[in-house]
Amino acid sequence: MVVVSPNLINYHISSSSLLKEAYQAIESDEELSTLLKMSNIMAVTRLRYNDHGLTHARIVAGVALEMVDILNSHGVEFTTMRDGTTKNIDEVKLIVMLTGYMHDIGNAVHRFQHEFIGALLAKDILNRILTRLGFDRKRVVELRQEVMHMIYSTEYNVQCLTIECGITKVADGLDMAEGRARIPYKLGKIDMHAISALSIKRVEIERGDSKPIRVSVYMGDMAGLFQLEVVLMPKIRTSLLGDYIEIFVYTDSKQFRYYPK
């Protein structure tokens, strides 16, 4: 069992020289760090929404890597490996980590259509980082396009075309503890979005019983179900991961299986 948190990514990069080098590259990239800063200026300062910056980027990247390990241990076939655009599990983890870290940079332009904008903004950054990692031009383009697809498909209504895409999409939705809900809600406004977001205290992921991935959501009260219904479930439905996930809900007085019902 692991808790969804910004520290999870440090554990995963420690076992792979490729991931470690890639993480150093994205953390030190001035354009990328500035885009994440601008994403929060647009989303938090101007729109009064919840965080879409560096902390969220680290959380989603780490959770996505955890999900890769769990699915890999269950023998799930990764789409990009099947199709030959990644050559091994480290490359699968690479594109998942890059997507998780970069998926919200489109907010630096505007919240509206930020997934589409983010995919376009990522192109030059990916060219630079993947080249720095030693990939030749052909491989740079292949890996870049997978990441661009994955960023674009984090939009609720866009269907993922790879398992890897679904991993980052669901990982995005799992960053919802202590008010970090993925649906934007205006800070200081008392509505169902804010109340339900603040009721979620902790999210954990681990290997499941009947499904490969078990998600446990700990809530102060049942209002948190609203976040599951309007944020997480739409992402799962367009992720290709529906058959691989089970969700359990815990409150002080109840515990029950939420998905599959």
Per residue in 104-131, pLDDT (tens digit) is 999 999 999 999 999 999 999 999 999 9
Q: How far apart are CA 220 and CA 218, in angstroms?
A: 7
Residue 88: pLDDT above 60? yes
Report the predicted TM-score, pTM, of the whole model to 2 decimal places: 0.94
Q: Are 75 and 64 in contact (CB under 8 A)?
A: no
Which pLDDT score, from 0 to 100, does residue 142 have? Answer: 98
What HEC string does 69-115 produce? HHHHHCCCCCHHHHHCCCCCHHHHHHHHHHHHHHCCHHHHCCCCCHH
Bridge partners, 255 (sequence order): 250
